[in-house]
Amino acid sequence: MSEDQPEQRAEPPRLGPRPLLAPPVEPSAAEAFGRPDGVDGAFEPARNGSGRGKDSIPRQEPPHHALASAFGRPSGGRNGLQRPPGGERGRPEPDPFWAGGAAKDPWRDPEASVRLGPPSVGAPAPKSSVPPEGARLSARELLFGKRVKPTVLALLGLVALLIGALGGLVGKWASDSTSALTSPGATIAETSPGKERAPGSVADIAARVLPAVVSIQVSVGDQDDTGSGVVIDKDGYILTNNHVVSPAANVPDARIEAVFQTGTRIPARIVGRDPKTDLAVVKVNTPNPTVARLGTSSSLAVGDTVIAIGSPLGLAGTVTDGIVSALHRPLRLSGDGTDTNAVIDAIQTDAAINLGNSGGPLVDSTGAVVGIDAAIRSAGQQGGSIGLGFAIPIDGARKIAEQLIRTGSVKHAELGLNAARPGVTDGTMDGAQVQNVRPGSAAAEAGIVEQDVIIKIGDRSIRTADELYVAVQERAIGEQVPIQLIRQGRPLTVTATLRSD
């Protein structure tokens, strides 16, 4: 190509239209569904002289000869389905669809004139209320349906009579045998009256005191404990041990209930507690409770009969009896789960006391409360009674209960020193040796110093540190008490004015 000629661009080839793919139409389909001859549009009216003739429409083939013989009209029959064929031998039969004279019925005559007629439904025919009586059946027909011969039926009746007679004979024999063992006219002789329970017996005392004794149930979370208590005031005040109720003292969701002898269960609230004497007072709201009578523990003597009442191991209303084994037995009380840290001047008894008796009364032979059961001493881990039970004397417990009811708390007298436990001895004399003295205390003002051995407070002899503790605790605050002691082998007497703890 020369430079003087303009550049020509080649055009791409063009594709022609594709032929329409029109499959041939079967003649039978075109004959059945095609447009008439001369009609081009879907809605174009037919033209005169055009269109397919009747002969061009395919006709249905005649039915099979088996179907025609089964469902076709009888040969030679002229009637349609509205009328049954004629009777046998040409005799007409009554028309089942058209009653006699129905052809003249104006309702079925299309040429009849319009007029009003009677109702189409007439009055119902009266029905008979008494059903007709049916045939009656004989006994043989009813029982055996005529399948048993009369002779056999008579034989069955005879057998039934024989069985009945035999049963009667057996029943009479059985009744005669039984009557030989029984006597309708027999009477049991009256026994002599029961043993007379004299006033002052254990049964009499228990009957009078039990209504005033309650079982105290303490629930803290999923832990349940049981103790005892005794009603000491008509307003519902109950005296018990501190270690019974102390687990629930500072727990908001804890629950305390008092269960009386009648089974009545009443919620109880803590009025006050005294961990130093292991005493507590709770209150229930109940009208006119039975109140126990309080006695005096100072009049007890070793060998006196005493009765312990309470709920050992959850067995409410348990009564045991014994004697006073010892008096003024110093006993230190403490344990896990309680803030009790007390030394009591206990009454020792051999009346059976077990876990759950704590807080229950120890009563004398007159039924008066002389102590509050508090502790036991046992030889094994189970804590069962071996005849060594201890109770808090009621004389001191009464004063503690009064202060708790009045103020909710208790103050005690103290000397202000610590002594070595259990005690010391020189072979001829026992005593409590002073370990330290608190500055400014009653002991310091009285001139008591370390290593002094206290042998007597007032008129009570001191042999151990626990005896020193209870001897001071039973005194009043502000009371002046003479104290005998041994200092460097020489006896000395000082006077101390007791102060409050």
Percent of the chain with pLDDT over 70: 74
Closest CA to 358 of 377, 379, 372, 346: 372
CATH number at residue 369: 2.40.10.120
Q: Which is the catalytic residue, given 225, 228, 243, 345?
A: 243
d(CA 363, CA 304) in angstroms, rounded, equals 11
Q: Per-residue confidence at 30, pLDDT binned at 50, 70, 90?
A: confident
Q: 359 and 284, same structural domain?
A: yes
Q: Which of 57-66, 118-127, 385-394 has the highest mean pLDDT?
A: 385-394
In tens, the pLDDT along 306-346 reads: 999 999 999 999 999 999 999 999 999 877 778 888 899 99
Q: Please give the average per-residue pLDDT across 446-468, as a whole number.
A: 92
Q: Is 278 a catalytic residue?
A: yes
Q: C-alpha 482: how far from its chain's center?
A: 63
pLDDT score of 6: 53
Question: Of 363, 379, 410, which residue sits at a domain end?
Answer: 410
Q: What is the pLDDT of residue 341?
A: 87
Residue 64 in any domain: the answer is no
Q: What's the rounded Cα separation, in Å, for the pair 200 and 367? A: 8
- Are 132 and 122 within 8 A, CB to CB? no
Q: Do both 443 and 373 map to the same domain?
A: no
**Cβ contacts of 475 within 8 Å, gap of 6 or more:** 413, 458, 481, 498
Are both 292 and 349 inside the same structural domain? Answer: yes
Instruction: List helix spans (H) across 342-484.
Output: 394-407, 442-446, 465-473
pLDDT band at 131 (very low <50, low <70, confident <90, very high): low
Count: domains in the chain: 2
- From 351, 385, 410, give the residue that closes a domain: 410
Residue type, 303: G
248: Cβ contacts below 8 Å, ≥ 6 apart: 218, 219, 220, 254, 255, 256, 270
Does 382 lie in the same domain as 295? yes
H or E element in which residue 292 lies:
none
- Is it the case that residue 269 has pLDDT exceeding 80? yes
CATH of the domain at 471: 2.30.42.10
Asked which of 5-19, 64-78, 330-344 is least confident by mean pLDDT, the reply is 5-19
Of 350, 382, 410, the last residue of a domain is 410
Ranges 50-64, 236-250, 451-465: which has the least confidence = 50-64
Average pLDDT over residues 59-63: 70
Residue 234, in any domain of the structure: yes
Weakest-pLDDT range from 54-68, 206-220, 351-365 = 54-68
Does a structural domain hold residue 168?
Answer: no
Distance CA 193, CA 72 (A): 114
Q: Nearest to residue 429, comparing CAs of 407, 451, 454, 412? A: 454
The predicted pLDDT at position 77 comes to 57
Q: Is 442 left (phi over 0), alpha (psi -120 to 50) or beta?
A: alpha
305 and 290 fall within a common domain? yes
pLDDT of residue 445: 93
Q: Which amino acid is at 17?
A: P
Q: Give the DSSP H or E segment for 141.
A: helix 139-144
Tokens describing residue 448: 């008591």
Of 449 and 138, the one with more pLDDT:
449
Active site includes 243?
yes
Structure confidence at residue 27 as a pLDDT band (50, 70, 90): confident
Specify whether the backbone of 159 is left (phi greater than 0), alpha (psi in -120 to 50) or beta.
Answer: alpha
> What is the pLDDT, as a whole number, of residue 115?
62
Q: Can you list the pairs that 208-211 forms with residues at least 24 positions away whose Cβ atoms lie under 8 Å? A: 208/367, 209/292, 209/307, 209/309, 209/361, 209/363, 209/367, 209/369, 210/261, 210/309, 210/317, 210/319, 211/260, 211/261, 211/262, 211/290
Confidence of residue 51 (pLDDT cuts 50, 70, 90): very low
Residue 375 lies in a domain: yes
Q: Which of 207, 200, 205, 212 is nearest to 360 (CA)?
A: 212
Check whether residue 366 and residue 300 sit in a common domain. yes
243 and 272 fall within a common domain: yes
Q: Are residues 395 and 457 in the same domain?
A: no
Q: Are residues 242 and 315 in the same domain?
A: yes
Q: Is the pLDDT of residue 124 over 80?
A: no
Decide if 77 is inside a domain: no
Within a domain: 492:
yes
Q: Is residue 191 part of a domain?
A: no
pLDDT band per the 50, 70, 90 thresholds, residue 50: very low
Q: Does residue 289 have a pLDDT over 50? A: yes
Q: Strand, helix or coil at 16?
A: coil
At residue 142, what are phi and psi to the nearest 5 degrees? -70, -40
Q: DSSP E strands: which ranges in 58-109?
A: none
- 489, 483 contact by CB (below 8 A): no
Comparing 194 with 276, the larger pLDDT belongs to: 276
pTM for this entry = 0.62
Query: pLDDT at residue 80 above 60?
Result: no
Q: Is the bond preceding 126 in cis, omega lying within 30 degrees of 0?
A: no
423 and 487 Cβ atoms separated by less than 8 Å: no
Catalytic residue among 358, 364, 385, 395: 358
Condensed to tens digits (0 to 9), the pLDDT of residues 384-406 reads 888 899 999 999 999 999 999 99
Q: State residue 161's pLDDT score.
A: 87
Contact between 431 and 424 under an 8 Å Cβ cutoff? The reply is yes
As given in the structure block, the two tokens for residue 148 are 């048993």
If you write DSSP's letter for every residue of 460-484 in order, what string do you get? EE--SHHHHHHHHHTSPTT-EEEEE
User: 10 pLDDT exceeds 80?
Assistant: no
The boundaries of the domain holding residue 464 are 413-500
**Mean pLDDT, rounded, for 274-293:** 94
**Which of 8-12, 134-138, 300-304 comes out lowest in average pLDDT?**
134-138
Query: Within a domain: residue 139?
Result: no
Q: Residue 112's pLDDT band (boundaries 50, 70, 90)?
A: low
pLDDT at 11: 73
Supply the DSSP string of 222-233, one letter for each residue.
TEEEEEEEEE-S
The pLDDT tens digits of the residues spanning 473-483 come to 889 999 999 99
**pLDDT (tens digit, 9 = 90+) per residue, 201-255?**
899 999 999 999 999 999 998 889 999 999 999 999 999 999 999 999 888 889 9
Mean local confidence (pLDDT), 280-289:
94
Question: Per-residue pLDDT tens for 159-177?
Answer: 888 898 888 888 877 776 6
**From 215, 225, 246, 278, active-site residue:** 278
423 and 366 inside one domain: no
Q: Are residues 464 and 493 in the same domain?
A: yes
Specify the pLDDT at position 104: 65
Cα 459 from Cα 291, distance rounded (Å): 35
Same domain as 417, residue 370: no
Q: Indicate if the pLDDT at residue 270 is higher than 90.
A: yes
Regarding predicted confidence, which is higher, 279 or 222?
279
φ, ψ dihedrals at 327, nearest 5°: -125, 155
